[in-house]
Structure 1
Amino acid sequence: MSTVFDFTYTLNSETSQNEVLNNAIAATAKKEYEPTSHFFVDESQLSSTVVANYTTDAFGPVTGSLTTKYRTTSKIRATVTDPVKVMAICNGQVLIQPQTGDATKVNLILKPSNTYSPLKIKYFIYRGVNKADLIGNNILKPLVNEGTGQPTFLAKLWKQYIAYNSTLIDPNTKAPLPLPTEFPSFLIGYDETQSDNTLIENYFTKKDINISYQIPLCTAGEHLGNFTGEIGLDIVLDHGDYQLQNQEELFKFDLKFAREKEHIFDTTAIPSSTPVKIKRYKEYIHQFMDAAAFWGSHMECGTIKTIATDSSTDATIKKGLKTNNDIFTKIVNKYQTQNKIYVYVQGENNRSYNYYDSTRKVFGFSSTGQLNETEASGWPIIIEELTVTASTPPKYKKGISFNLEYNIDTRIPEQERHVTVDVISPNNNTSHYPLLEKPVNPITPATVPAFLTNKTAPITTILQVNETKSCATFLILYGNLKQEFPLKNYYNNLFPANFNTNFLLPNAEIENMNLWATYDKSRMINLDAVVDIGASIQNKVVFDNGKESKDSGAAVPRKTRRLYMAILKRNSIHEVEYDRLNIDTITAGIAKSTTTREQYALNVYNNTDFSVFKGTFEDGLDTINSLSLIHKDSSLKKNSFFHLGITDEEYNTLMYNQINARGTIQTATTVTQNLPLEADNVFFHLEEDLTFTNRNVQKFKVGFRFEDATGNISTLFPTVTNEVFVYTVDGFYFFSKEYSAYQEYVVTDSTYIRNYEEKIGFDNIESTSNKRYEDWFIEKDINMKNKVDTFINALSQIDNNANFYNNVKTLVENSALSIWNQAISTVQANSNANPDDRPLYWARLKMQVALKSHPYFGGGNNAKDLDNLILLFEEKSRNYTSVINAPVGTNKILITGFDPFQLENDIEQWNPSGIAILSLHGKLINNTYIQTMIFPVRYKDFDKGYVEKYIFPHIANVKMIITVSQGRYRFDIERFASKFRTKTSTDNLNIKNTNHIFYLPNGNKIEQTSLSKIPEFLETTLPIAHMIPGTLGNNRVVYNQEYQSNISSLQYSSANSGINNLSAPAIGEIALNGSGGTYLSNEIFFRVAVLRNHLNLNDNLKSGHLHVPILDVNNYSLAANFIVETTKILKDAIQSL
């Protein structure tokens, strides 16, 4: 992305640029690839391709030197000898440079101002523009009369230059200065004397350039110049605005590269070449795209404007070329590579797919698969050309499904396995990606290998075809496809260490300056350990001069610091909280004056709603400031950012292993670097200090992880006396003691941000009472209100000290159990004609919010203590751990219900299953003692195994388990429970989740288990013959045998359908739907059945699911009658015991 300055030649002053300069101006990141461009020359003047020119003109491996040379310049030729117009592809800035070897030509570097997101383009480099039309003798060509064909770009520059100079006044005479007759070319950055090793980006950011200039702006379709004969175009993909430091670079985007007539990677020219260096060198081709593929990628999903469409009077044509046929015949077929498909596959550790594993295959073009390098002469890319029959419908499309191979050590438990793939391609709905899979072992009796190797789920894309051949295009696949045992910690693959800013820094230090660089290769990261997702990330490092938090004397000292960030772009559950942050718009910048928290948040997070919370904790005798990120509206958005904060001194200690030279060591040429210069792919490596005893804080020793000169992965730590340590209180923000001490812009009073479930009753007001719904529901039971108020008041009286946890634990245990008992007492009271489950539900939420809001937990501090207390509250207020044994001589049954749900549709919604279990708990009916629990409508509670955890201890002591939930308008006894979970329904946290985890008993505990051990369907063992027709009859109570698999299905059973079993799904069929659906009601039924089946209790334990009728909200007479009906069904079932 470009650093775009909106200027009019303020060439003698740069003060207007000294506030905040950002490399991004796009407001919103796109999920879809929908490119809009202008073709870069007059397409009507181009010749068709000639086979003889393939060797000199084609992008890719160079004919005659296929394994050693790779051209990145795509060339086209003119049909005429007259000059052909050259146009701006998009809005941006244009840097003009001399062309090496041809004094009559110049090259143009166009840096786009708008993202092609999700694809990012750094530069368009035009090679071979006629110099005589723009520059002569180091001055811009003078203006001539309009209409003579002179580039409008040149005319615009002259007009701006004259306009600026017309305002200048002679300081002595006060008269206007004479207007200039010459325009020196150095004023727009053209300087033939500038060294070839100057980085291109330095010109755009004015770093280390010793002339005063402005890079001019251009607009899409603007006439930039002309070419004769041939012209080349390099398209450089944007991997971030950064400069590597402290390591060798085999290729740079410098003026030598920018000035070439054509660019060719040549492995024979690598200095001190080794096989590892050649391998690394070839990786650079992933930053280049064939121009033919770029233009072809616009087909049917984008627009290309041309000189012809610009001049058309037809409104439709004027919009530009869109169709396959128009774009191919007018543009793409002018390229030698008009039919080539380029598949870029990035694997682990920022490397191409076969970099570490030469055997992995890509499936798609070949059913047997192909190596990444097979069709590209050893270069790490797949280049294919498809031939199809012209009659294949549809005429201009061909769908292809790609699969990548993964490799997983089978010692890794199935629930911890993780394979993710992300995709960027034309005509592909990128909102469906990344895809996450958790591969299972092959079904026995096949022997499970040491490493599980298989193919990912299909990645489907649409390729454009013209006549009988494919049209040039691209497909970029990003994979995290290998897991070794033991699993790598997520934080050791997050933070690249060796990149720096490319911005010009002021000569004198500015104490409150922020500057930042970005690094973006869309790496796929396994974040299951912290947020249960896979995600593509980009990196950012923020340099600042932090201010010490305490006054150390007359002057408060500052310290130069570095904040390394890993920022989520897209994730495998496609959570909207992340998407709304527009992460793709975060690019490099500099802010030379940062004086407020809001400015700091904008610089670092691109969003002023974030703040850094500062707390404290102890490490031995040291009091250390803790740091964590908070958002004013959302508790989830902070999860998009991972941080590692250290000071410059600490960075240099890691780099040079010398603590005594901190702060000055970067400029000391006599100090030997500890990190080998030939190191590549350098990341920070954290090693946890397991002797650290604070249960709410983790401590880590910091080092480097890198590829060494032999290509192997190595780690490096300073010696013991020079060790650097960081801490984290939440797993997202890692910080050193020194870094956090100098964190300037913080908040110390953190207001807890309610989650979705907690907000809905707080933000919405009941109209008649003008009270928050949360309070309105609680006040339906005045005794419940008193218990809530008592808890909140008592909590506020507990001091934030060393005894806090134990004191609050006692309060939580007593208060949570108290509201459970209160709810039962109220519903079961003889005088209560208004049975209701909502006071308990909303009381629990309000009390937990009060707990989470206590200062002891501010900013994520003491998070483990909070987790333990919330779990205790759940256990007592849902009766998870207070189920008691039946009296001697009686049977015992366990019944579960659910919280209210779908409150976004009707906030007054109740759940009749909750009313049922509150009305039945503790009763003795027909010599049968009833105990109940109520479960939340939250995927995460199920994925943590709470159903198995709290039901398993009782399964051997009960005769029957009935799970109950709200259903349709009758009672349904569901026959089939299915393994399948919905992909579309949200829970009470507004989360969609498809990656469920199952558990099985192991001794007296439950443990996560392999999905392959879990059947697809299980059946109810409830006493159907006693329950149907039963007391209520078969019209009111129905045996529902509905299911769906990948092969067979049964429809929803009708009333009076009887109890004879219909055909069941066969072994091997894959579940798609159970009798009770695919939501959590089916899942709790299934999880209990899995326990029963695993423990061989199918003949002894009666278990199953009862869907009960939905009740009109607030119709208490219906609710009272519903309790009577439910009790009758239960009595019918009890007769079987």
Structure 2
Amino acid sequence: MPQTSPNTQKQELTTSNNGLNVRPFIKGKSHFFCQTGNLTQGTSQCFGVVSPTEFRTTASLNIGSGLTKNIYAICSGRILIQPQSGSSTKVNLILKPFKQPINELPIKYFIYRGLNKSDFFTSASEPLIHGSETTGTEFVKHLWKEFNKFYQNEDSSEPTPDFYAKLIGFPTTTYVQDANSLIDEIYFKKTEYTDSTQTVEDPETSYELPIVPRGLCIGTAIGEIGMDIVLDDGDYYLENDPNPFKFDLEFARADANILNVNPAGNTYTDYQKKLIKETATRFIDPAAFYGLHANGAGEIYLNDDTTPTTDVDDIFSNVVNLFSTGNNTYLYIQGNRQRSYNFYGNYTYDATTIENLKIWDDPASVSTVDCGETNEWPVQVHSNGTELSIQLLTDKHEGAGAYVRIGDLNDNTPHENNFLRGENLVQTDTDGTIDENYTKPLSFSIPKTTGATPQKISTLIQLIYEGKRIVVQEYIDPLISPAPDPVYHKLKDIDDVFGLVNAKSIFKTDDTMVLPTVTDNIMQLINIPNSTDRSEIAVVKTKRTEDIVQTVDIQTYVNRITYETLLDNIKREANGFLPFSCGNIDQDCSGVNHYNVEQNNFFQGSLPYFLKTQIFTHRAETITSLSLHLIDGGNPTKKILGLSKDENEQLINLIDTHSLNNSILFLKNVQVDERLILSSYENIEYKYYSIGVVSEDFSGDLVLYFPTNMISIFTTDGLIYHSKSYSDFLPEIGDSNELLLNISLVELDLIS
């Protein structure tokens, strides 16, 4: 029976309930981006749905007539300044967080729209940085101080050069940026040189983006200031991405951004329109962002104050209520395959009913709505009541589950550390009065002020939900005659995990021994097996790592691809007879790994995980199998899939050939019965799969593709899956005692 808990989202961590079912406050720490006083917002300036075809992601504030307002850095981060389209006097500024203001809500960019250009640059044809160390805004003083310090430290008799705007990444007549370039391409440049001595930098990369502290006055604005807050989905991109919307410089330069599925002069397919609508979930209303600070633990700094306000009513009246959307609750429901609820049409009641979500703020007024369908955006908005309840469609399959990433489940909703599964999620009809097609009600408390007449405070609820399994059909070549009978598969838990197949790292390298890693920051649910028949439910990110393994002749190498899950949270079994499960939160992020030809520094997992090898025979082939372990004997809470790079390229060729999108690896059990376990000559039990990709085709329908040449995958523990080529040249790896000999005492101290 699942353990349950009352509402504990808003408690401090304690040792009560044996440390179970207690979650800490969300502790935001931010600066309000605009100097307060005489700020208003009109209806047309609000974040949210404009029409069935338009969604405004920019929240703008009017600045009182004749006033100039200081604009502040919300958090510490790196700044990129861009011209504002259609204006010669305004610029936009992108702040990429160096330290996240809310750890539970990773932000990719804050985009300020409409700062005064004259605060930053001179009006010369080749503009210079405005001001000096002692004149101008705090930002330009900061720039000049760092610039002068750099050249004062140089061992040169040459005078300090002019401080051109292009040196901080601003486009000019001599430094031209392509408006179609992704913002990430500017942030994650690779320095290039025009000479062999690497002393003369190519003008295209000869800039450095400045880092600023939280609260620094970065400029001023008059008339109107706009703000977009973009959620972080990872540092990668997809070539030939069918989504017409891009996070590029054209988007960054607009005076305001509106997602539009029917823009003038463009005809998008229905699938492209759905992808544009999906993009709405990558933004958050600034009112809700600041509202998440209003819980008694969040800190917001105002104007030039050095002491933050933590008072709920102050945060509401001085910040959140400046926005006309200050009472809105935004509900983001992520369904299967990291898409919005019912993106694939699998959350349907029956063939004739289009409504698929029950939602209410009053038990007497339950509404059944069409969530995320043709004329809707996948963001539910509500402004009434101090509670919000929903019921979602489910097929009650064994792995059905939900996780509240952000939100405050109330006392009437039993849960397990914000995970919902089993009897806490699905319901059973015992007297003919319950509709088992729906989950139990999930009820959320909405934050409110503490006065005599409490007001709702804008907030965000993020729910990850996988309540109905998806059925996909294997691709049938239309040239085959007669056409074979269609073959269908229900996607298993492992078939909804490992994406990033054709993702490209934004980190540029040209050294074959410097290989990128890529992380997908969009969370998803996964089940981790333990020592019983019951699985533990976890929420994870995924990471793809490239590495190199030496072959037996030492002169050649095998390039490999490793996919792994990164744990964010887990509901562990409270059973004293089970080995404990690792609850370590993975902190890995995107980047590059450097490999040395003199040694085999291949992927071995990071502490506290390690791999073991053992040999078994499969159909006269010798397989070096891998298993995943913890150094202190517990249950690993990670899944891994390994391929050679050549095998991964076969899957990428499928994606390119058929113009596929959102491809995720699929494991087809070669045995008819998924539960069947094989036993080798050496009495090693294992499972045997064929790997393919489940993808969205050009119409957005899911189809399963397999490469022409079968790629076989093996697992002995249900945690690490790999091909023969992936493990062939690995050295023998024994138990943890051998591994511990290579771990420094410092690392052991950290583990303990």
Match of 1:652 in 2: 649
Q: Is the 8 A contact 1:628 1:732 kept in 2?
A: yes
Q: Name the SS for the 1:43 alignment partner.
A: coil
Match of 2:625 in 1: 626
Please tell me the residue identity of whatever aligns with 2:439. K
**Gap change, CA 1:218 and 1:594, over 3 Å in 2:** farther
Q: Could you say which structure has the larger radius of gyration?
A: 1
Aligned: 1:278 with 2:273: yes
Match of 2:356 in 1: 360
2:168 pairs with 171, 182, 188, which one? 188
Please, what TM-score do these two structures have when normalized by structure 1?
Answer: 0.54
CA distance in 1, matches of 2:191, 2:335: 36
Q: Is the 8 A contact 1:517 1:588 kept in 2?
A: yes
**Gap change, CA 1:526 and 1:750, over 3 Å in 2:** closer
Match of 1:177 in 2: 158
Match of 1:254 in 2: 248
**Greater RCO, 1 or 2 (C-alpha within 8 Å, sep 6+):** 2
Match of 2:459 in 1: 473
Q: Is the 8 A contact 2:668 2:690 kept in 1?
A: yes
CA shift, 1:297, in A, is 1.7
CA distance in 1, matches of 2:329, 2:571: 27
1:591 pairs with 565, 590, 593, which one? 593
- CA distances 1:561-581 after superposition (whole Å, capped 9, x unpaired): 211122332223378966742
CA shift, 1:249, in A, is 2.9
**Gap change, CA 1:372 and 1:286, over 3 Å in 2:** farther
Q: Is the 8 A contact 1:422 1:524 kept in 2?
A: no
Q: Name the SS for the 1:231 alignment partner.
A: strand
CA distance in 2, matches of 1:31, 1:188: 39
Point out where structure 1 has 5 or more consecutive residues left out of the alignment.
Answer: 1-29, 171-175, 311-317, 388-397, 658-672, 755-1137
CA shift, 1:236, in A, is 0.5
- CA distances 1:366-416 after superposition (whole Å, capped 9, x unpaired): 5323426499961111111126xxxxxxxxxx3x2523323216xx6xxx3
Match of 1:454 in 2: 438
CA distance in 2, matches of 1:375, 1:248: 19
Aligned: 1:420 with 2:402: yes
**Gap change, CA 1:702 and 1:75, over 3 Å in 2:** same
CA distance in 1, matches of 2:426, 2:112: 50
Point out where structure 2 has 5 or more consecutive residues left out of the alignment.
Answer: 1-22, 193-203, 348-353, 472-488, 673-677, 741-752
Please tell me the residue identity of whatever aligns with 1:736. S
- CA distances 1:192-248 after superposition (whole Å, capped 9, x unpaired): 521111111122221598312222111110111111110100001112222124642
Match of 1:1053 in 2: none
Please tell me the residue identity of whatever aligns with 1:496. G
Instruction: Give matches, 1:100-139, under 5 Å.
Output: 100-115=85-100, 116-136=102-122, 137=124, 138-139=126-127
Please, what TM-score do these two structures have when normalized by structure 2?
Answer: 0.79
Q: Name the SS for the 1:307 alignment partner.
A: coil
Instruction: Give matches, 1:20-31, under 5 Å.
Output: none
**Gap change, CA 1:587 and 1:752, over 3 Å in 2:** same
CA distance in 2, matches of 1:499, 1:218: 34
Please tell me the residue identity of whatever aligns with 1:422. V
CA distance in 2, matches of 1:103, 1:574: 61
- CA distances 1:693-733 after superposition (whole Å, capped 9, x unpaired): 535122211111112233332101122xx221221121111
CA distance in 2, matches of 1:597, 1:360: 56
Match of 1:33 in 2: 26
Aligned: 1:79 with 2:64: yes
CA distance in 1, matches of 2:526, 2:247: 28
Aligned: 1:500 with 2:506: no
Aligned: 1:346 with 2:328: no
Q: Name the SS for the 1:221 alignment partner.
A: coil
CA distance in 2, matches of 1:177, 1:578: 62
CA distance in 1, matches of 2:614, 2:694: 30
Instruction: Give matches, 1:64-463, under 5 Å.
Output: 66-115=51-100, 116-136=102-122, 137=124, 138-144=126-132, 146=134, 150-170=136-156, 176-180=157-161, 182-192=162-172, 193-206=176-189, 210-245=204-239, 247-269=241-263, 271-300=266-295, 301-310=297-306, 318=307, 320-355=308-343, 356=345, 357=347, 358-367=354-363, 368-371=366-369, 373=371, 378-386=376-384, 398=386, 400=387, 402-408=389-395, 416=398, 418-425=400-407, 432-438=417-423, 442-443=428-429, 446=432, 452-463=436-447
Q: Is the 8 A contact 2:29 2:293 kept in 1?
A: yes
Q: Name the SS for the 2:650 alignment partner.
A: helix
CA distance in 2, matches of 1:640, 1:652: 28
Q: Is the 8 A contact 2:133 2:142 kept in 1?
A: no
**Gap change, CA 1:445 and 1:40, over 3 Å in 2:** closer
CA shift, 1:473, in A, is 1.7
Instruction: Give matches, 1:878-917, under 5 Å.
Output: none
In angstroms, what is the RMSD of aligned CA positions?
3.3
Q: Name the SS for the 2:463 alignment partner.
A: strand
**Gap change, CA 1:562 and 1:374, over 3 Å in 2:** closer
Match of 1:730 in 2: 717
**Gap change, CA 1:675 and 1:536, over 3 Å in 2:** farther
2:662 pairs with 667, 681, 686, which one? 681
Q: Name the SS for the 2:316 alignment partner.
A: helix
Please tell me the residue identity of whatever aligns with 1:59. F
Instruction: Give matches, 1:961-1000, under 5 Å.
Output: none
Match of 2:727 in 1: 740
CA distance in 2, matches of 1:447, 1:473: 34
Instruction: Give matches, 1:794-873, under 5 Å.
Output: none
**Gap change, CA 1:168 and 1:562, over 3 Å in 2:** same
Q: Is the 8 A contact 1:635 1:753 kept in 2?
A: no
**Gap change, CA 1:732 and 1:580, over 3 Å in 2:** closer
CA distance in 2, matches of 1:140, 1:592: 38
CA shift, 1:541, in A, is 0.6
CA shift, 1:165, in A, is 1.3
**Gap change, CA 1:600 and 1:752, over 3 Å in 2:** closer
CA distance in 2, matches of 1:562, 1:271: 38
CA shift, 1:303, in A, is 1.0
CA distance in 2, matches of 1:350, 1:241: 16
CA distance in 2, matches of 1:598, 1:326: 58
Higher strand proportion (structure 1 or 2) = 2
CA distance in 2, matches of 1:271, 1:747: 57
Instruction: Give matches, 1:950-1099, under 5 Å.
Output: none
Q: Is the 8 A contact 1:153 1:224 kept in 2?
A: yes
**Gap change, CA 1:597 and 1:547, over 3 Å in 2:** closer
CA shift, 1:484, in A, is 6.4
CA shift, 1:742, in A, is 4.5
Q: Is the 8 A contact 2:271 2:698 kept in 1?
A: yes
Q: Is the 8 A contact 2:536 2:571 kept in 1?
A: yes
CA distance in 1, matches of 2:65, 2:598: 60
**Gap change, CA 1:598 and 1:222, over 3 Å in 2:** farther
**Gap change, CA 1:347 and 1:750, over 3 Å in 2:** same
CA distance in 2, matches of 1:421, 1:362: 18
Q: Is the 8 A contact 1:283 1:380 kept in 2?
A: yes
CA distance in 1, matches of 2:142, 2:569: 41
CA distance in 2, matches of 1:705, 1:97: 39
Q: Name the SS for the 2:317 alignment partner.
A: helix
Q: Name the SS for the 2:693 alignment partner.
A: strand
CA shift, 1:499, in A, is 4.4
**Gap change, CA 1:563 and 1:35, over 3 Å in 2:** same
CA distance in 1, matches of 2:62, 2:601: 50
